Every structure is written in C-alpha cells, then in structure tokens.
Amino acid sequence: SFLRNRNVLIIGSGNIVHNLRQIDFDEHARPFLWAIEFDEYIKNALLQNDHERLIRYKELSSVSRLAVPTNDHYLPFLYSAALQEQDEQVEFIYEGFQNGSMSMRCMMIH
C-alpha cells in the first residue's frame, strides 16, 4: 500500500465475531460453536487472501447472522483486511474468544 511503502504503520480495529445479545458474562466462557465456525471461516479467507469471502460473509447462513448481527464492528475489520495485497501473508498475533460471543483475533499483514 502507498502508506506502508513509506514506512507508515497502519493500525485498524474491529471484531470478526461480536454478538452482545448472546453474551455470557463470564469473560472466560467457552465460545459458542457458531462463533468458532464463523471465526474459522474468516481466518481461512484471510489465509487464502480471499477478500470476496470476507465481503460476502452473509452467505454463510444463520452462522453469519449470529456472529455479525449488526455490521458496526465487522466493517472496520474489512477496512484493515482490504490492505492485504495479493503477495502478502497474514499472521495471527492473537487468537481467542471472550464472553463466548466475541472473537478477539488480531492479525498482522506482511
């Protein structure tokens, strides 16, 4: 990207899975199966540099509706993911869940 070529560090935010309606108030609660499935779907799309799957996430049926009931936390993630160019890899510097219904996955593009 133009900015990265000039040694500008770009930091983005957002959540892949963010459903407060299904939250378990135990911070360390076991993640819901639908949350794991959607997080893995997105992880694989990132690893394969398949941005089309990231954009068309709603096609994953009810899993996507549970994982992303509103897109206010997902859309900022898309802006960060869009910085990945064809020859670049994604590294996950943190993978985990919080409260059963939130993926806290962090990525670095290089």
- Domain CATH code at residue 56: 3.40.830.10
The per-residue pLDDT for range 14-30, each reduced to its tens digit, is 899 999 999 999 999 99
What single letter denotes the amino acid at residue 2?
F
**Could you give the CA distance from residue 90 to residue 97 in angstroms, rounded to a whole number?**
19
Query: What burial class does residue 4 get, using C-beta atoms within 10 Å of its C-beta: 0-12 exposed, 13-18 middle, 19+ buried?
Result: middle
Number of domains in the chain: 1
The per-residue pLDDT for range 63-95, each reduced to its tens digit, is 999 999 999 999 999 999 999 999 999 999 999
Entry pTM: 0.92
72-to-13, 56, 88, 104, 110 alpha-carbon distances in Å: 11, 16, 26, 15, 26
Q: Which domain holds residue 81?
A: 4-20+28-109
**Could you give the CA distance from residue 61 to residue 40 in angstroms, rounded to a whole number?**
15
**Could you give the CA distance from residue 95 to residue 8 in angstroms, rounded to a whole number?**
25
Give the pLDDT of residue 61: 81
Q: Residue 96's pLDDT band (boundaries 50, 70, 90)? A: very high
